[in-house]
Amino acid sequence: MVLTQYIKELLYQQECITLPGFGSFVTQNHPIQVNRFTGEFVPPSRSISFNRLIQENDGLLASYIAKRENISYAKALVKIEEDCARWNKRLKNDVLILPGIGEFSFNAENKLRFLPHGKVNFDANALGLKTFQKTPLKAQIKAASIVPPVSNSTSNPMQDNKESLAFTPEQKENNKTPFVKYAVIGIVAVALLGAAYYFGNQYLESERLKSTKLAQQRITKNVQSASFDLGSITAISYDAVAEIETVDDNSVSIAEGQFYSVIAGSFRDQENAERKLAVLKSQGFEAAFAEQSANGLIRVAYGRFETKRQAFSLLNFVTHSLKEEAWYLVEGY
């Protein structure tokens, strides 16, 4: 199994890909860029970053591998965990390189650093498109305004002299005619170039929007119709008794369903959890109680969302801007 290849395939389709026990790749879309001064056109793109804090399995990568290799979900998950364990072991002494994605290494402060290669554009709407450059409009106008010199090497000096003597007033008027003619040609050329540039940009923008809308509709249709054969998992029985301390308090109200939450802390005492919740609300967060842990700890979340993108945006804000500790949780999975 080539785990790197499966990750690259999913980067075209998903916003976040989580590797249990290792971290998550997060994508960010960038719109088309046009430099009107240099004439450079850059197609839409999708860049990737890495978040070491998001390590809890969301099932996306394992389900994709199970379908591709026609194996059970459990076997696919085991293979992912084995590869991630090898990667963590290699990072202790060497640089980890994932071809087509980027490389990992520890810096002087013993923090994991991710350097994306940037050679692959993971935006499915921009497949086959490359950066190109055209002559700026100002340079075209300047070139069209230059009047080429006119020479008449076959003129007869005697005839010119006669014409100058016979028709002096008309000769002065004819000298002005070429200038007016070239001026009219220059104005028409400028108008045509301006119209072509404007309507060309309008056409490119219209086609780009149509392609983007069609691609989004196809992706949505594929996701809605996708089904995974997770296979069967053999049940294993354990004869073990564990003493688990739980919190039994009906005053903690938690909305049920699948949520993507940004957890601020876990508490065994309800009063401490309620105190933390009040502090977060006073700071302007839409804080709430999240799903309790398996051993009965009360989780307090900065916020609970219905989409991954909202949760990741808040997580990045809390960890990078506020420099606070937080982690990501998928509830009701």
Task: Evaluate if residue 124 carries a pLDDT over 80.
Answer: no
Say what the pLDDT of residue 12 is: 86
CA dihedral 15, 20, 21, 27 (to 10 degrees): -10
Question: Which residue matches tokens 């006073």?
Answer: 282
Q: Are 105 and 91 in contact (CB under 8 A)?
A: yes
Mean pLDDT of the region 41-45: 79
SS3 label, residue 26: strand
- pTM of the predicted structure, to 2 decimals: 0.39
Greater model confidence, 68 or 250: 68
Q: Are 16 and 54 in contact (CB under 8 A)?
A: yes
Instruction: Name the token pair of 27.
Output: 């994508």
Say what the pLDDT of residue 173 is: 47
How many Å apart are CA 140 and CA 190, to the nearest integer? Answer: 8
Grade residue 240 by pLDDT with cuts at 50, 70 and 90: very low
Mean pLDDT of the region 114-121: 79
pLDDT over 70, % of the chain:
68
H or E segment to which residue 191 belongs: helix 168-225
H or E segment to which residue 261 belongs: strand 259-267
Say what the pLDDT of residue 138 is: 62
Domain segments of the chain as ranges:
3-132, 259-331
65 φ/ψ angles, rounded to the nearest 5 degrees: -65, -40
Amino acid at 6: Y
How many Å apart are CA 160 and CA 155, to the nearest integer? Answer: 7
Q: How many residues does the chain have?
A: 333
Grade residue 144 by pLDDT with cuts at 50, 70 and 90: low
Q: Are 101 and 119 in contact (CB under 8 A)?
A: no
How many Å apart are CA 43 and CA 41, to the nearest integer? Answer: 7
Residue 209: count of CB within 10 angstroms of its CB: 10
- Domain spanning 259-331: CATH superfamily: Sporulation related repeat (3.30.70.1070)
Task: Evaluate if residue 235 carries a pLDDT over 80.
Answer: no
Say what the pLDDT of residue 267 is: 92
Q: What is the pLDDT of residues 254-286, one digit of tens each?
A: 666 688 999 999 999 999 999 999 999 998 899
Q: What is the pLDDT of residues 312-325, one digit of tens each?
A: 989 998 888 888 88
Q: Are 81 and 21 in contact (CB under 8 A)?
A: yes
Q: With DSSP H G I counted as helix, E B as strand and the rest as coil, what are the percentages for the chain, rounded to 5?
A: 45, 20, 35
What mean pLDDT value characterizes the chain?
75
Instruction: State the DSSP code for 258.
Output: -
